[in-house]
Amino acid sequence: MRCVYSPSQTHLEFPRIADLPDADLLIHAGDWTDIGYRHSKLEFTRFETFLRDARAKYPHVLALHGNHDLGFDNHRWAQWGVTPIDGLTWRHESGLTVRGVALTPAHHLPELLLEWQHMTIDEEEEDAAWDFERVDVVVSHGPPFGYLDLTDAGKRIGSRSAVSYIRTRQPQVFICGHVHEAAGEAQLRETRILNVAGRVELLEVSAGDRRSGE
């Protein structure tokens, strides 16, 4: 099936839906906004317009929140008429499975927990977020540790729990964002890892391509 991943890290600067390719599915990996509900109504209108246009064009819109999306949760996405995926596994009628993980580690800078949401420095909480069966596509706000997670300050801030999940479960695709400057593509065994910060691309994936880690 054809999936379009809208760029993570849009921060209210959305692409025009008319400019995006046709597909069966639109995915966004979080940080739709700068400060969530703290935006003015005028600013927030851009977000609502993007969602309305996306729902009109795509049969399915899968939504994950990022650390900048203050006040956002699965309940809010359902109210807006799109499909929430944080901590949930969604199955397409073709059999393709998608799972979302919004929780992002902040071990490098714990004070971020005072400013943002959907972050943790608790390793057990992080491990629990990644305790689920294999899916075809993982949508995570944060990247896996050591893969597309290097900041301009020279720190790797990805999730070690995510790396463990990839090694043992081997999803086809791992979509993430969070680290703007690390956007790009990497490979871990059979898993294609995409940091989609600022990128829009058409992705072809098929259900049930079961590949296990070594």
Per-residue pLDDT of the chain (214 residues; tens, 9 = 90+): 888 877 677 889 898 999 999 999 999 999 999 999 888 888 889 899 999 999 999 999 999 999 999 999 999 999 999 999 999 999 999 999 999 999 999 999 999 999 999 999 999 999 999 999 999 999 999 999 999 999 999 999 999 999 999 999 999 999 999 999 999 999 999 999 999 998 888 899 988 765 433 3
Phi, psi of 141 (to 5 degrees): -65, -45
Structure tokens belonging to residue 140: 């995570």
Q: What pLDDT does 214 receive?
A: 35
Strand partners, 170: none
| Boundaries of every domain in the chain | 2-204
Q: What pLDDT does 8 receive?
A: 76
CATH match for 2-204 among 3.60.21.10, 3.30.10.20, 3.30.2320.80, 3.40.640.10: 3.60.21.10
- 102 in Cβ contact with 65 (< 8 Å): yes
The pTM of the full predicted model, rounded to 2 decimals, is 0.93
- 4 in Cβ contact with 18 (< 8 Å): no
